Amino acid sequence: MLLNVYARREPASDGTPGRLDVQIYRDAACSVRFVRFAWWRNDKPTRRSKRITLNCWPWALSWAA
C-alpha cells in the first residue's frame, strides 16, 4: 500500500506571470509542503498522474481541489 501525497497548482515561485508550479504536500489540507516542481520542468506530474516517485520511494498522488 502506498502512502498518499497531495498535489496542487500554484503561481510560479519565480514570479513568471501566467505560469503555475506543481506543489506536493504531505497532508490533504495542503499545509505541509513536501516538494515543488517548477513550471519549466518536464518531469512534473500532470492531472493524469496517479503515482510519483520522490527520493526513490513510490507515493500515491491525489490532486487537491
pTM of the model: 0.90
Residues spanned by the domain of 38: 4-63
The yes-or-no verdict on residue 54 having pLDDT over 80 is yes
Local confidence band at 65 (pLDDT 50, 70, 90 cut-offs) = confident
The C-alpha atoms of residue 58 and residue 19 are separated, in whole angstroms, by 27
* pLDDT at residue 4 in the model: 97
Residue type, 23: Q
Residue type, 13: S
The yes-or-no verdict on residue 47 having pLDDT over 90 is yes
Local confidence band at 15 (pLDDT 50, 70, 90 cut-offs) = very high
